[in-house]
Amino acid sequence: MKISTAQKNDFVYDIARIREDFPILAKPVHGKPLVYLDNGASAQKPRIVIDRMRQVYEESYANIHRGSYYLSEQSTALYEGSRDRVQRFLNAARRSEIVFTKNATEAINLVAYSYGSSLRPGDEIIISALEHHSNIVPWQLLRDRQGVTLKVVPITDEGEFLIEDFKNLLSERTKIVAVAHASNVLGTVTPLAEIIRLSHQVGAKVLVDGSQAVMHMPIDVQVLDPDFYVFTGHKIYGPSGIGVLYGKEAVLDKMPPFLGGGDMIATVSFEKSTWADLPAKFEAGTPPIVEAIGLAAAIDYVSELGLDHIARHEADLLAYATQRLASIEGLKFVGTAPRKTAIISFHLEGAHPHDVATIIDREGVAIRAGNHCAQPLMDRLGLPGTARASFGLYNTRTEADRLVMALEKVREIFR
């Protein structure tokens, strides 16, 4: 979909036209039209991404940076052009601040291993009770490796980040604060600007896991001012196997490499090696070339639609679906923070979340069930897991109605 500047001024969110851009949405499931509500785990791909990646494989694929021939030069230009696209998307100050990884998990591990290698016993790391395992386990590994202390910011029963408790945890010993921009389970949007401001006052670096935010809202890293911001491609309608680490150049420049091998070196001898300039220092080996190009196409797609337009559409869906689901007997919402993304976690009285997801799948409705890679959060809430409907830019009110009708069938079975 291509939207001109003039059209954006009086843009109408044409959901029928948008849905045509996603081939998989026309696929029936169990003889029913597909209702895909698992966007929080992974979003579907628009044709522009699929076509762009196929075009590269068919017309210009070669390994990058090393070849003195046409195809390599073409692939290199496309790959590095994708870096430029991500830089503009995040409004990073420099292209050297954009590092491609295979996903957000690798990006967090890179920071934990590389920047974390400078931490010493007595230093402290703060995370929150809202975190995905990917923003918990790397810091636990760092704690065990370096002897640092790991602290956790509690949340309310509604799933809100407790900023006053966070203030009380901060001290001159705090070296890293790692927090989700938005919860993958509850949709809670954290008070990020305040978290970053307070962290910097005590000299701590801040890593933001933006995997559940970049597809829902505009991100400007120069305004937010995190030291690191990570996200993954497959949740923003791009391919899997590609992630992004934004890091301030001054911080990245002082960090040791995470992986060793080709392309991250300046010189190699049997006595010693020296490292390439940023961002190559953190991109060892053949990178996800075509995936990075596909990510750039996905970013183009959501940017052309306008993240502000997407946010309004999803806010309407969230309000409508919440109202409709509230009418179901025995349904309890999990996570009711006033500011949240279009995620609804819930449980049905008498029905296990996995049973709920399995039954409504027969109605063509795809949702997620389980602990959502957030076991500590489930423990805090006293739940074994939840069912989760996560909405995206192509979902509709009609699909929310289909979800409600499918859940009513679950109630009939377990009544």
Give me the amino acid identity at 200: H
d(CA 164, CA 241): 38
207: its two tokens? 């890593």
**CB-based contacts of 86, cutoff 8 Å, min separation 6:** 92, 98, 244, 295, 296, 299
- From 285, 303, 321, the end of a domain falls on 303
Length of the chain: 415
Rounded Cα distance, 137 and 282, in Å: 21
Residues 410, 310 share a domain: yes
Q: Are residues 295 and 315 in the same domain?
A: no
> pLDDT, tens digit, for every residue of 373-401?
999 999 999 999 999 999 999 999 999 99
Q: Do 334 and 188 form a contact (C-beta atoms < 8 A)?
A: no
Write down the pLDDT at residue 415. 79
Query: Residues 193, 224: one domain?
Result: yes
pLDDT band at 10 (very low <50, low <70, confident <90, very high): low
CATH of the domain at 398: 3.90.1150.10
* 157 and 146 belong to one structural domain: yes
What average pLDDT does the segment 115-132 reach?
A: 98
294: helix, strand or coil: helix
281 and 317 together in one domain: no
Number of structural domains (the chain) is: 2
| Lookup: tokens for 325 | 């689901």
Q: Tokens for 88? A: 């503009």
Residues 379 and 277 in one domain: no
Range of the domain at 376: 5-43+306-414
Closest CA to 341 of 393, 404, 400: 393
Q: What is the number of alpha carbons within 13 Å of residue 231 lying toward its C-beta? A: 30
Q: Looking at the structure, do residues 296 and 153 belong to the same domain, yes or no?
A: yes
Q: Does residue 8 register a pLDDT over 60?
A: no
Residues recognised as catalytic: 373
Output the DSSP codes for 11-28: ----HHHHHHT-GGGG-E
CB 300 within 8 A of CB 89: no
The domain that holds 260 is classified in CATH as 3.40.640.10
> pLDDT tens, 148-165?
999 999 999 999 999 999
Give the model's pLDDT for residue 11.
Answer: 75
Least confident of 8-17, 227-236, 280-289: 8-17
Q: Are residues 73 and 153 in the same domain?
A: yes
* Contact in structure between 128 and 179 (CB atoms under 8 Å): yes
Residue with the bigger pLDDT between 133 and 9: it is 133
Q: Is the distance from CB of 284 to CB of 74 less than 8 angstroms?
A: no
pLDDT exceeds cutoff 80 at 168: yes
Q: Could you say which of 274, 303, 332 is where a domain stops?
A: 303
Residues 195-234: tens digit of each pLDDT: 999 999 999 999 999 999 999 999 999 999 999 999 999 9
Is residue 69 located within the same domain as residue 84? yes
The secondary structure of residue 301, as a DSSP letter, is: H
Model pLDDT for residues 27-65, shown as the tens digit of each residue: 999 999 999 999 999 999 999 999 999 999 999 999 999
Same domain, 160 and 294: yes
Where a domain ends, among 303, 335, 354? 303
Do residues 270 and 329 both lie within one domain? no
DSSP string, 342-404: SEEEEEETT--HHHHHHHHHTTTEE-EEE-TT-HHHHHHHT-S-EEEEE--TT--HHHHHHHH
The 3-state DSSP class for residue 255 equals coil
Residue 9 has pLDDT above 60, yes or no: no
pLDDT at residue 66 in the model: 83
Same domain, residue pair 190 and 103: yes
Give residue 7's pLDDT band: very low, low, confident or very high (50, 70, 90): very low
pLDDT digits (tens, 9 = 90+) for 339-355: 999 999 999 999 999 99
Residue 96, pLDDT > 50, answer: yes
